[in-house]
Amino acid sequence: MDPLDQHLADSALPVPIRSVQLRREIDLVIAEAERLARPNSQQLRRRLGVSWLAAIGALTVGAAAAGAGGILPWYQDAPLNGSIVTSTGSTCALTFGIKGVEVGNRPVADATRASAVAVAEQYLADLDVSSIDVAAATAKLPPRVTENSEEAMAETVDDYEARAVQAAVQRGVDAELDARSLPTSATSVSMASSCEGGDE
């Protein structure tokens, strides 16, 4: 190294020594900035939430996934609408739809996938969301994440319980497909939720 390079590197303005405490405070700034950058919790509660359940690596396929008709192409004529009351007292309006999906290591013929989507949509059309036991569905989920971490985002009670209901619906769809010898990997359940009221 040219001696000038070394002198220049050594000449850097000294900065506070990197300590465990400083590292912790920087991490807190990152976490707080993440929280502040999100819509505030009230807006979040009233906003339409959309999620879907599918196998890891699944790609949505077919007309429902093409998105040509709008942001939520499945939402316009979703087969299932209903509401639940969560443990906080919120009423959550839920809308469910079905997406045909393709899992890389479990290929399904287009015709089979179309049959699976049709069966799943009919199952949703016949389902009454209010008949789902929210507490029992919630008990089947891993504990709610209450703090943001590297592994997972924190969830409100309403979002968590709505997700539990979505998982219950997915299990019902899978059972229906199994009963008809159709592949469960060919579909996933989409859900839009909007929660209002409650104590949270």
Partner 1 sequence: MNADETAAARAALRATSSDLLTYLVRRVPSPEDAADLLGETMLTAWRKIESMPEDPERQRMWLFVIAANLLRNDRRRSRRRLELTDRLRSVLCTTPTPPDDQETHAVRDAVLRLPAQHRELVMLVHWDGFSIAEAAELLSLNTSTARSRYAAARASLREVLIDVPG
**CB of 190 within 8 A of CB of 52?**
yes
- Secondary structure string (H, E, C) spanning the chain: CCHHHHHHHHCCCCCCCCCHHHHHHHHHHHHHHHHHHCCCHHHHHHCCEEEEECCCCEEEECHHHHCCCCCCCCCCCCCEEEEEECCCCCEEEEEEEEEEEEECCECCCHHHHHHHHHHHHHHHHHCCHHHCCHHHHHHCCCCCCCCCCCCCCCCCHHHHHHHHHHHHHHHHHHHHHHHCCCCHHHEEEEEEEEEECCCC
The interface region with partner 1, picked from 3-11, 90-98, 122-130, 169-177 by CB under 8 A, is: 3-11
- The minimum distance between CB 126 and partner 1, in angstroms, equals 31
User: Among candidates 26, 97, 101, which has minimal Cα distance to 59?
Assistant: 101
Comparison of 23 and 180: residue with beta carbon closer to partner 1? 23
* 137-156: contacts with partner 1 (CB under 8 A): 150-153
Nearest distance, CB of residue 57 and partner 1, angstroms = 12
Closer to partner 1 at the Cβ: 9 or 111? 9
Smallest gap from Cβ 148 to partner 1, in A, equals: 8
CB of 10 to partner 1, least distance (A): 5
For residue 190, which phi and psi values (nearest 5 degrees)? Answer: -95, 145
Q: Does 20 bind partner 1 (CB under 8 A)?
A: no
Q: Does position 27 bind partner 1 by CB under 8 A?
A: yes
Q: What is the smallest separation between the CB atom of 31 and partner 1, expressed in angstroms?
A: 8
**Site residues (CB under 8 A) for partner 1, limited to 31-70:** 31-34, 36-38
Least Å distance, CB 160 to partner 1, is: 14
Residue 9 binds to partner 1 (criterion: CB under 8 A): yes
Residue 6 or 122: the one with the smaller Cβ distance to partner 1 is 6
Task: Give contact residues for partner 1 (rule: CB under 8 A).
Answer: 2-5, 7-19, 21-23, 25-34, 36-38, 150-153
